Chains A and B, each alone.
Chain A
Amino acid sequence: MEIMTSPIRNMPNSKQLQKYPKDAEEFGYQPEWGLYTSSFIFKGNFTDDLKLLQEKYGYNPLQVTQQFDNQRADRNIDSIITSVAFRSNDGSPHNHRHPGDIDETPELFQYTPAYYDMTTIRNIIDWFGDSVCRCRIFRQEPGKDLPMHYDFDNERNHFDNKNQTLRVLIQLTPNDDNWMRFMSKTSDITLKPVAGQAIIFNADWVWHGTVNYVDTPRDCLTLLLKDQNSVMNLGKRFPSHKIEFIEV
């Protein structure tokens, strides 16, 4: 009996034993259309940091560049998302905007006092190195849904696939009933992320939406990142299906 080999990628057929990760090198996260949800989870006391942010800085409706006012109105963002910034273009924790119609690069942004006040959340931001651009907490208000949509981070760099701007989402509040959905070219994924788990994707291509069914806000650390090679390498750095905890 002839056994065919998969036409999809170079995969062993049933006559051959499989060796992971060697036989799966062509697989894994690709930044343009892909999605990565981590097998590592940041562990720490986020509660004290979040309380301090609320008391000292407060959350303001998410600001967007004027160019995107149509998106803000269409998605009713003002009633869904409030924010405080750890890294912004003028160092203010209350400025969430990109400075203009140019590529998002780390040198455009500076840390805010809110970043320096953090004890654990700051360690997560630092873990991602020098390629962090804007960095904010997105607070999704109770009972609010953000519809399926995409964003325009890479419109600014004319979709240069060697210079992609990626988003990193890390929920910080315990997840009782918060969900996210991501739709890529091949897959459609609804999940309930664990607090401290990282989700990384190109927000121009991968459609995404969230729901918050609980009566408390969902606080989500949101980084814009300019380092697609290191993100592509995360699957190799953390190749196992076992869960690794990173104390911060």
Chain B
Amino acid sequence: MNEIKPYMGSNTTHRVDDFAGGFDPLKGFYISNILLDAPWEEDLSNLRPMDLECHPHYHQHLEDRNFNQIFQTLSLRSIDGEVTPTQPPPGQDEDPNLFYYTDAYHNSPVLKRVCDWFQFPVSRIRLFSQQPGQTLQFHHDFDNERTGFDPNNVTIRVIMALGDYPDAWYRLANESVDVTFRLARGQFIILNTDATWHATVNNGEVARHTLNFIGKRNEWIENLVKPKDILEIERVKV
């Protein structure tokens, strides 16, 4: 029997408070029962994503994944306050205090509200546009390598779908879970991308847009992922 929960046998009833597992920010992921909703399409149409400018240390990964053919990106929050997507150098923590909102954030009133809804310390925020017919191979990232995998300073990513894309799929695999799924418009994933292998495919004929956040786990995240006894899909107007 696993140590994580005292098993309550069939002669008793149980409630979700009896469960001690769920999203582990060191190893796992959370796919939300929350769908955010706001009319962000006009903001989106005004943004012009571009090639990622990769730090030389990570350049081999950019080429190996063929990244700039698959994705076009744009920063809403970046290390230099510019919309050009860049990364901090290896060994530098994604410390939210070192990052700045860009013009794309300030000039996108609805997307700004969406960004502000997430109340965890955020370093980078980027628009990712996966091009039609493109697939991103299985890989993992290096956010927590930067801090030596400090369990008290965990970096997480949030990926939120900006549309319903029936031909766009995600696959995530960690040490026990292997899931292929689609995100609904406004639904989001919270994950540790160092610990979770992840891949995406866009078999559709239009670009698949997501907002991608990098930031730090905090109490707000812990409260957000707490389950209730009833599975309720929470549709939140932003």
Chain B residues whose CB sits within 8 angstroms of the CB of A11 once the complex forms: 140, 194-195
Chain B, interface SS category: loop
Inter-chain CA distance A38–B197, complex, in Å, is: 16
Give the chain B neighbours of A180 by CB distance below 8 A.
231
User: What is the minimal beta-carbon distance from A15 to any residue of chain B, in angstroms?
Assistant: 8
The CA of A14 and the CA of B58, in the complex, are separated in Å by: 7
- Establish whether residues A183 and B21, one from each chain, have CB atoms under 8 Å apart when the complex forms: yes
Are the CB atoms of B28 and A187 closer together than 8 Å? yes
CA gap between A37 and B177 in the complex, in Å: 9
Chain B residues within an 8 Å CB radius of A147: 16, 229-231
Chain B residues touching A, range: 35 or more
Residues A111-156 near B (CB distance < 8 A): 145-150, 152, 155
A residues less than 8 Å from B169 (CB atoms): 39, 241, 243
A36 at the binding interface (Cβ < 8 Å): yes
Taking CB atoms, residues of chain A closer than 8 Å to B61 are 14, 17-18
Interface window among A52-60, A165-173, A189-197: A189-197
Question: Which chain B positions have C-beta within 8 A of A28?
Answer: 173, 178
B13 engages A74 (CB within 8 Å):
yes
B177 CB to closest chain A CB, in angstroms? 5
Tell whether A188 pairs with B30 under 8 Å between CB atoms, given A14-B61, A209-B230, A211-B232.
yes
Q: How large is the interface on A (under 10, 10 to 19, 20 to 34, 35 or more residues)?
A: 35 or more
Measured in the bound complex, the distance between the Cα atoms of B228 and A145 in whole Å is 12
Closest beta carbon of chain B to A66's beta carbon, Å:
11
Q: Which of A2-10, A84-92, A102-110, A219-227 contacts B (4 or more CB under 8 A)?
A: A2-10
Whether A187 lies near B231 (C-beta < 8 A) is no
Chain A, range 7-48, C-beta contacts under 8 Å to B: 7-9, 11, 13-14, 17-18, 20-21, 24, 26-30, 32-39
Give 7 nearest A-B pairs by CB, closest first: A186-B28, A241-B199, A20-B138, A34-B176, A209-B231, A187-B28, A30-B176
Contact, CB under 8 Å: A183 / B145: no
Q: Nearest chain-A residue to B23 (Cβ)?
A: A188
Q: If the complex has contacts A6-B145, A14-B145, A211-B231, are A192 and B182 also in contact, measured as CB distance less than 8 A? A: yes
- C-alpha gap A204/B22 in the complex (Å): 15
Residues 141-177 of B, flagged 1 when their CB comes within 8 A of A and 0 if not, give 0101100110000000000000000000111011111
The 20 listed contacts between A and B (C-beta, < 8 Å) are A4-B148, A8-B27, A26-B175, A32-B176, A33-B2, A34-B176, A35-B177, A36-B179, A71-B13, A145-B232, A147-B230, A159-B7, A180-B231, A185-B4, A186-B21, A190-B231, A191-B179, A197-B180, A207-B227, A242-B203
- Determine how close the nearest CB of chain B comes to the CB of A167; give it in whole angstroms: 15
Report the separation of the CA atoms of residues A126 and B16 in the bound assembly, to the nearest whole angstrom. Answer: 35
